[in-house]
């Protein structure tokens, strides 16, 4: 079913991956996105270079922030990490579902501790990475050694994340229907692997267009290079918004 969104609704579902090597270039890009209503995603490249300060600056500029650090460690370490992240005031962060239930529950515990101690004004959404969107079935079966289809592996992780109390998962838009069937419509599907028609895949293996992702039920579309590496990032975002606001 084609879902026609208002411009505001469409922008509120887009998370632009600020995959930049330093604060200056990230803020220059953010400047082109200000006022559009989109989220920004701060991942490893930017956070390891520019840390807490870049998060605060982006918050000051009014962006909603998904901190994409994909924690994967023993439960006690993840609990502490989650508490520190919650203190930063981001709106969403993630862990790897492959860390298991105890690790995911520990992330929720860390968030709860930050809120109870008054260190965080609000609890960020916590979601779990299922199978990276760069992973093909060949890689999953042949290299990683997990049998079955990618969709089966993704749904297994999604169910685990749901039972651990997380609010959603990161997956490809191709798996969203199965995730929602297993975990319910309200369980968030945050989907990278978005490529406008004709765009280069790069290292992504499981992709759809923005329109296909929204029609398939994705709640948030994570988009990096198709916007960030475009000659005019603001224009690239506009053309994606146009795709989502037209029937």
Q: Using CB under 6 A as the criterion, which residues of the chain lie in contact with ligand LLZGTKA7 when the complex forms?
A: 17, 19, 43, 68, 129, 132-133, 170, 192, 202, 204, 222-226
Of 114 and 233, nearer to ligand LLZGTKA7 (C-beta) is 233
User: Could you confirm whether 70 is annotated as catalytic?
Assistant: yes
Radius of gyration of the chain (CA): 17
Smaller CB distance to ligand LLZGTKA7: residue 133 or 208?
133
75 is in an annotated binding site: yes
Q: Which residue is catalytic, options 20, 59, 64, 68?
A: 68
The minimum distance between CB 166 and ligand LLZGTKA7, in angstroms, equals 15
Q: What is the smallest separation between the CB atom of 12 and ligand LLZGTKA7, expressed in angstroms?
A: 18
**In this complex, which beta carbon is closest to ligand LLZGTKA7, that of residue 122 or of residue 200?**
200
Residue with structure tokens 């990161």?
A: 170
Minimum CB distance to ligand LLZGTKA7, residue 118 (Å): 32
DSSP 76-135: HHHHHHHHHHHHHT-SEEEEEGGG-HHHHHHHHHHHHHHHHTTS-SSPPEEEEE-S-TT-
DSSP class per residue in the chain: ------HHHHHHTEEEE---SSHHHHHHHHHHHTTS--EEEEEHHHHHHHHHHHHHHHHHTT--EEEEEEE-S-HHHHHHHHHHHHHHT-SEEEEEGGG-HHHHHHHHHHHHHHHHTTS-SSPPEEEEE-S-TT--HHIIIIII---S-HHHHHHHHHHHHHHTT--EEE--GGGHHHHHHHH-TTSEEEE--B--TT---TT--S-B-HHHHHHTT-SEEEE-HHHHTSSSHHHHHHHHHHHHH--
**Catalytic residue status for 22:** no
Residue with CB nearest ligand LLZGTKA7? 224
Active-site choice (73, 91, 215, 219): 73
Annotated catalytic residue, options 59, 64, 70, 215: 70
Tell me: is residue 209 an annotated ligand-binding position.
Answer: no
Ligand-binding annotation for 19, yes or no, is yes
Which of residues 86 and 128 has its CB atom nearest to ligand LLZGTKA7 in the complex?
Answer: 128
Report whether 52 belongs to an annotated binding site: no
73 in active site: yes
Minimal distance, residue 110 CB to ligand LLZGTKA7, in Å:
21
73 is in an annotated binding site: yes
Residues making up the annotated binding site are: 19, 41, 68-77, 133, 195, 204, 224-225
Residues making up the annotated binding site for substrate are: 19, 41, 68-77, 133, 195, 204, 224-225
- Give the active site residues: 68, 70, 73
């Amino acid at each position: 079913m084609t879902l026609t969104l208002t411009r505001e609704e469409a922008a509120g579902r887009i998370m632009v991956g600020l995959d930049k090597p330093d604060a200056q270039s990230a803020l220059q890009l953010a400047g082109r996105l200000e006022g559009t209503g989109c989220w920004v995603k701060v991942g490893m490249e930017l956070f390891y270079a520019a840390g807490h300060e870049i998060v605060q600056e982006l918050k000051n500029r009014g962006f909603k922030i998904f901190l994409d650090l994909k924690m994967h460690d023993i439960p006690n370490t993840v609990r502490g990490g989650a508490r520190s992240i919650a203190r930063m005031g981001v709106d969403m962060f993630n862990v790897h579902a492959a860390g298991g239930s105890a690790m995911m529950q520990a992330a929720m515990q860390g968030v709860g501790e930050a809120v109870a101690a008054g260190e965080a004004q609000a609890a960020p959404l916590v979601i779990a990475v299922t199978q990276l969107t760069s992973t093909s079935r060949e890689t999953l079966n042949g290299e990683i050694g997990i049998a079955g289809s990618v969709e089966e592996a993704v749904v297994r992780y999604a169910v685990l994340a749901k039972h651990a109390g997380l609010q959603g998962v990161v997956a490809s838009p191709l798996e969203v229907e199965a995730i929602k069937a297993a975990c319910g419509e309200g369980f968030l599907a945050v989907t990278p692997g978005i490529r406008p028609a004709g765009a280069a895949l790069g290292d992504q293996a499981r992709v759809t267009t923005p329109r296909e992702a929204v029609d398939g039920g994705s709640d948030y579309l994570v988009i990096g290079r198709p916007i960030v590496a475009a000659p005019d990032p603001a224009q690239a975002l506009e053309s994606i918004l146009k795709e989502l606001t037209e029937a």
